[in-house]
Structure 1
Amino acid sequence: MQQSARRTLEFFFDFGSPYSYLAYLEAPRVAQRAGADIAWRPILLGGVFKATGNHSPAEIPAKGRWSKTDLARWARKYGAPFRHNPHFPINTLMLMRAAMGYQRQDEALFQRYVQAIFQAMWVDGRNLNDPAEIGAVLAQAGLDPRAALAMIDDPAVKDALKQATEAAVARGVFGVPSFIVGEELFWGNDRLHFVEEALTE
Structure 2
Amino acid sequence: MRKTVEFYFDVGSPASYLAWSQLPDLVSRHDAELVWKPMLLGGVFQATGNQSPATIEAKGRYSRMDMQRFARRYGVTLNQNPYFPVNTLQLMRGAVAYLDTPRFSDYLTAVFKGMWVDEQNMGEPEVVARVLSAAGFNPDDVMARIGDPAVKDRLKAITTEAVERGVFGAPTLFVGGDMYFGQDRLWMVEETLS
- Normalising TM by the smaller chain, what interval? over 0.9
2:154 equivalent in structure 1: 160
- Residue 65 of structure 1: which of 58, 61, 64 is its match? 61
Indicate whether 1:115 and 2:109 are aligned: yes
- Partner residue of 2:170? 176
Residues 45-90 of structure 1: CA distance to partner in whole angstroms, max 9, x if unpaired?
A: 0000011111100111111111111111011000101101011111
Q: Please name the residue that 1:85 is paired with.
A: 81
* Structure 1 residue 101 corresponds to structure 2 residue 97: yes
How far 1:29 moved relative to its partner?
Answer: 2.0
Mapped partners of 2:3, 2:137: distance in 1? 32
**Distance (whole Å) between structure 1 residues aligned to residue 4 and residue 149 of structure 2:** 29
Cα distance in 1 for partners of 2:167, 2:37 equals: 11
Q: Which has the larger radius of gyration?
A: 1
**For 2:98 and 2:29, how far apart are their aligned partners in 1?**
27
Match of 1:131 among 125, 132, 157: 125
SS at match of 2:99: helix
Question: Number of aligned pairs?
Answer: 194
Q: Distance in 2 between matches of 1:123 and 1:149?
A: 23
CA distance in 1, matches of 2:119, 2:88: 14
In the alignment, what sits opposite 1:37? Answer: 33
Question: Separation in 1 of the partners of 2:177 and 2:141?
Answer: 36
Which residue number in structure 1 is paired with residue 138 of structure 2? 144
Higher mean displacement: 120-129 or 27-36: 27-36
What letter corresponds to residue 119 of structure 2 in structure 1? Answer: G
Report the Cα offset of residue 174 of structure 1.
0.8
Could you tell me which runs of 5 or more consecutive residues in structure 1 were left unpaired when the two chains were aligned.
none
Provide the rounded CA distance (Å) in 2 between the counterparts of 1:148 and 1:68: 31
Alpha-carbon displacement from aligned partner over 1:125-145 (angstroms, at most 9, x marks no partner): 001111000000110000111
- Structure-2 residue corresponding to 1:14: 10
| Other-structure match for 1:188 | 182
TM-score by length of 2: 0.98
Q: What is the CA RMSD across the aligned residues, in angstroms?
A: 0.8
Q: Distance in 2 between matches of 1:83 and 1:145?
A: 25
Equivalent position amino acid for 1:160 in 2 = R
CA apart distance, 1:158: 0.6
CA distance in 2, matches of 1:89, 1:189: 18
SS at match of 2:186: helix
